[in-house]
Structure 1
Amino acid sequence: MFRFGLGEELGQVPAEDRDRVLDALTQLAREKTELHGGRVTAVLGSKVLAVFADGADPADSAERAVRTASAVRAGLSVPTGTLTPPQAAVRGLTVHAAVASGEALLPRRPSDDPPPPWGGGRLVDTCRSMLAHVQAGEIHVCDETRRQVERAATFRRACASAVAPWELHALHDGASDLSWDRVGAGVHVSELALMHHTLQHTRRRSAAHLITLIDGSGRARTRLLMEFQRQVEELQGGPVRVLAGTVPPPQQAGSALSVPAEILAAYCGIDPGGPEAHAAGRLRTTLNRLCGDPATVADLYAPLARLLSPQRAADEEEVAEMLRAWGTFLARAAREQPLVLIWDDLQHADDTLLDLVERMTQTHVGAPLLVAVGADSRLPDRRPGWATARPRTVTLSLSPETGDCLDRLLESLLPPLRESEVA
């Protein structure tokens, strides 16, 4: 059983349009369920019930149910690490899942009839009770499900529920829980392979590279960047640190510096809402580790501390100084551990930030740093020669995809064009 949460942070979707989002989420759950041999038997608002009853082996049905839950979660999430659940790909949108195994009387229907409503039953009641305790991004299973699937997955104790004492940690064989699986890879498998090849080249040569994805609608590049991040964090051999962000529109205060500030805070382990004294201490500790030389630490500390400050508003000269220090920090960090920076909506960046990103392959020649950015057509319109004359750069114009459910979901999150706007 799935439950999809539409939080207040999903502010750009008007209340009257949220049904479109729920419909796209339901279709995503239905497609993943059918892909793994199950069927959706009931949908009530934000909840979806699926059953897996084909075949004589209960363990096979249980595994397919767990893999379906993982596939739906992966399609709507960005991984955050091995110890925490994935983060929602769209702020305010959450997915919760519970899997219960046992005997149930299934409704009979001709194969050409639509699925009948599922009215209840002990197993359904158990699954519903489990789901009430599932936190965002988690998948809880009952004891029987864990026993049936323990060869194919690892589980850990769930803190919230005695009814569902186990939480899915990882599937041993990652083939079925990829949001970019063989069935849904679309037309951009080659672009994804090129990005991985560029990362390998970055690491082997210890040289900075820049990949730019241009896509008019934004859906294809967002999916590609999300999947690249997931695969680098899960599948790359050797240690690679991934830091990601989205450039906000220019009307938001401090937009030119918000992503560099977020990346710096994430690298140093700083809570943006925490006390400034704690942030200053973490920053200084990180700089001492990366630089060693007190003179270099002193040179970088003041502008980087200013970058992290909520009151960072500054003139052009101060902005340039903060970004210079930030670039030097990245080079030091990449030499300690290869870095991948993933930015979306780069078309919103101002000229100072665009200059810095475009020059990274020259200013960070000896650092294993890969910068993967996404933008719409406004970026090449503003910069017709974007990165074309720079070494170790590649720009990919993504072709439109034939929309699957995730594409439709991303499209449903865009405010629809209304008659008043047309007029």
Structure 2
Amino acid sequence: MECGAGLDGPAGIPSATLRAGLSATTGPGPANGPANGPANGPANGPVSERRTTTVLFGDLVGFTTLAEARDPEDVRELLSTYFATARTVVGRYGGTIEKFIGDAVMAVWGVPLSHEDDAERAVRAGLDLVAEVTALGASVGAPDLALRVGLVTGPVAVTLGALHEGMVAGDAVNTAARVQAAATPGTVWVDQETRWLTEATVAFSDMGEHLLKGKSEPVRLHRADMVVASAGGAQRVDGLQAPMAGRDAELRQAKELFHATQADGRARLVVVSGIAGIGKSRLGWEFDKYTDGIDDELFWHRGRCPSYGDGGAFWAFAEMVRSRLHLAEGDDASTVEDKVRHGVASVARNAEEAAWLTPRLLALVSGGGTGSFDRTDLFSAWTTFLERVAGDKPVALLFEDAQHADDGLLDLIEHLLRTTRARLFMMVFTRSELLDRRPGLVRARGATLVELAPLGDDAMAAVVDALVADLPGRARAALVGRAEGVPLYALELVRSLIDQDAVVARDGRHVFVDQAHAVVDLDRLATPTSLQTLIAARLDTLSPLERRTVQDAAVLGSSFGYDSIRALAALLTCGGGSERHDLSA
């Protein structure tokens, strides 16, 4: 991810990117919107030409059975919701709905305008559609309702100027329908061409060769498993990486709140709380990839609250502004001042406003502090700068490790939420101790708390199976049990097995080879050093009485009752009831 976004475009609009740290996606706008109207079409009626497009076919599974058992009005409302969802998702990724056929949907990318990443947009949309239909089914008491999606990239005959049905025709259209029919419910399957065009961004599983109706030769198909990078493959992490599992509801909630800010212009704050390793950063990464892939302009900023050093009260926010102004770590004072003046001048409404903003931003980026300015004055200036940068576009601020945040930064976040006129969406990732210290952060209007609990065994099994192939049942159960619902624990345990040669890399994946258990005793898996230090850091945040409770309980195992603790340490006579309650929570 390249840090910084230019501010030298006309009227203050970035000339190269719209995301500080991420390139923007720009395109024709929502499906069936203005970009598909006459203004972008040929002047003298429809014109046919040959184009390479990506075609999506999606079909509901389980809908017929559901419809037979429901009132017709309920069925109509369900279908209407499904159609609206499909239009919204396809539009977000710059696609066009070609038609609905009963409970099936056909969409196309590359018409009326082509993009170099049309195939990637289509795969992302397919994955989102599958997730949305699953959520829709759960919301109406129909857990078996699912969508299966087929995607094919290839040449088609395009009728430019045609609206909706009849825009594209050709073998790719027919093949996409056949691929969809071959896919299993709740999955997205693609052809070889689509996989080749998107493999830098999406992880796939080879589903083998299939003989499709109308094809003389078998066709190799692939299942799209998950997005693993930003648009175009940026920030892809190769090697051992745990997938996100069991967090679909939380990610969907973040997406919905973000799009609500887009729609109504109101600032929103999402506080994501959970223990270390539970998946807070991964949720932010998935949201990052999502916003980078949709067909909307967005000003994106990310900052981390340092746990040590003299970074200044507003370090995380200063980090965001530095990237926005293209400030480099090695810039001298003169260069910093020149960049700040230039950046401010490109967005300020007039010279007077620029003269007011510049010294207050210099105070921020030069040390993450306040200088000699009044805090109220600074907050007003920083808020104004964000509003000028964003204009009428959404602006996102992601604060990581906020448990280390200074009260000044938390005051700023609350000020932004309360006063800004920008379409501001903030996410704060923190451990629970921040909310103990600052409970009002999630009580403000526009604030939402998302608490990440440990994953259930099924979700953890999915994480473990994605990390290691060919796991025997005993090994899987051992890893799931030791991970205790924390994805990072599973990842580090697998890394320890790799270090001991019980898991080896083979044909692009990691495989469990210690079938005879000659290398590792699965019943006595040692805790990796990486986890020991992580757990030690968590213990250091406890009060003396809480820490004593944990130390006493360690001899009892991973679960214990109050009677055992009472017998061991007589804590009830120490006034420790509330602390024991916190530990059990």
Shift of residue 185 of structure 1?
A: 4.2
Contact 1:246 1:345 in 2 (8 A): yes
AA in 2 matched with 1:383:
R
1:323 CA displacement: 4.3
Give the drift of 1:346.
1.1
| More contact order relative to length (CA 8 Å, sep ≥ 6) | 1
Q: Does 1:241 align with 2:299?
A: yes
Q: What are the residue-to-residue correspondences of 1:171-186 with 2, within 5 Å?
A: 175-179=224-228, 184-186=243-245
User: Quick one: which of 326, 347, 356 aligns to 2:412?
Assistant: 356
Counterpart contact for 1:347–1:378, Cα < 8 Å: yes
1: CA distance, partners of 2:371 / 2:341: 24
Taking structure 1 as reference, are residues 397 and 271 closer, same or farther at Cα in structure 2, changes over 3 Å only?
same
What is the aligned counterpart of 2:488 among 404, 407, 411?
407
Aligned to 2:543: none
Counterpart Cα distance in 1 of 2:275 and 2:245? 17
Residues 233-254 of structure 1: CA deviation (Å, up to 9, x unaligned): 12x22111221121111x4202
Q: TM-score, with normalisation over the residues of structure 2?
A: 0.40
Cα distance in 2 for partners of 1:410, 1:327 equals 41
* SS of equivalent residue, structure 1 residue 152: helix
Q: Deviations over 1:216-275 (max 9, x none)?
A: 2353212111111121112x22111221121111x4202422211110011122213223
Deviation of the 1:326 alpha carbon? 2.2
Q: Does 1:302 align with 2:356?
A: no
Where does the alignment leave 5 or more consecutive residues of structure 1 unmatched? 1-81, 84-147, 156-167
1:339 aligns with 2:395: yes
Alignment of structure 1 residues 11-410 onto 2, 5 Å: 151-154=194-197, 170=201, 175-179=224-228, 184-234=243-293, 236-249=294-307, 251-310=308-367, 321-364=377-420, 366-388=421-443, 390-402=444-456, 403=460, 404=463, 405=467, 407-408=488-489, 409=491
Name the SS for the 1:273 alignment partner: coil
- The 1:288/1:410 distance shift into structure 2, 3 A limit, reads farther
Q: 1:204 to 1:296 in 2, by over 3 A?
A: same
CA distance in 2 between partners of 1:213 and 1:149 (Å): 38
Alpha-carbon distance in 2 for matches of 1:295, 1:315: 21
Following the alignment from structure 1 to structure 2, what is the Cα–Cα distance between the partners of residues 248 and 397? 22
Distance 2:535 2:401 in 1: 21
The amino acid across from 1:202 in the alignment is T
1:354 to partner: Cα distance: 0.7
Distance 2:274 2:327 in 1: 33
Structure-2 change in CA distance of 1:218 and 1:316 (3 Å): farther
- The one-letter amino acid paired with 1:358 is E
CA shift, 1:417, in A, is 5.3
The one-letter code of the counterpart of 2:411 is D
Partner AA of 1:347 in structure 2? Q
Contact preservation (8 Å) 1:214, 1:397 = yes
Give the unaligned 5+ runs of structure 2.
1-115, 118-190, 205-222, 230-241, 468-486, 494-527, 541-546, 552-585
**Higher Cα radius of gyration:** 2
Secondary structure of 1:219 counterpart? coil
1:335–1:176 CA distance, 2 compared to 1 (3 A): same
Q: Distance in 1 between matches of 2:396 and 2:354?
A: 23
Between the aligned partners of 2:429 and 2:355, the Cα distance in structure 1 is: 34
Letter of the structure 2 residue corresponding to residue 176 of structure 1: D
Distance in 1 between residues matched to 2:360 and 2:432, nearest whole Å: 33
C-alpha change, 1:197 and 1:316, in structure 2 (3 Å) is: farther
**Per the alignment, do residues 192 and 269 of structure 1 end up closer, same or farther by CA in structure 2, a change over 3 Å counting?**
same
The structure-2 alpha-carbon separation of the partners of 1:172 and 1:335, relative to structure 1 and needing over 3 Å to count, comes to: farther
Tell me if structure 2 keeps the 8 A contact 1:220–1:401: no
Matched residues in 1 for 2:271 and 2:322: separation? Answer: 24
Q: Secondary structure at the match of 2:225?
A: helix
1:256 alignment partner, SS class:
coil
RMSD: 3.4
- How has the CA–CA distance of structure 1 residues 300 and 185 changed in structure 2, closer, same or farther, with 3 Å as cutoff? same
Contact 1:340 1:370 survives alignment (8 Å): yes
AA of the residue aligned to 1:354: L
Cα 1:353–1:186 change in 2 (3 A) is same
Structure-2 change in CA distance of 1:217 and 1:151 (3 Å): closer
Q: How far has the Cα of 1:383 moved from its partner? A: 1.6
Tell me the CA shift for residue 384 of structure 1: 2.4
**Alignment partners' CA distance in 2, 1:170 and 1:347:** 32
- Cα deviation for residue 214 of structure 1 reads 1.0
Q: Deviations over 1:40-97 (max 9, x none)?
A: xxxxxxxxxxxxxxxxxxxxxxxxxxxxxxxxxxxxxxxxxx99xxxxxxxxxxxxxx
Distance in structure 2 (CA, Å) of the matches to 1:410 and 1:178: 22
Partner of 2:17: none
Distance 1:386 1:229 in 2: 23
Residue 195 of structure 2 aligns with an amino acid whose one-letter code is: A
Query: What percent of counterpart residues are identical?
Result: 23
CA contact (8 A) 1:202 1:208 kept: yes
Aligned residues of 1:218 and 1:376 also touching (Cα < 8 A): no
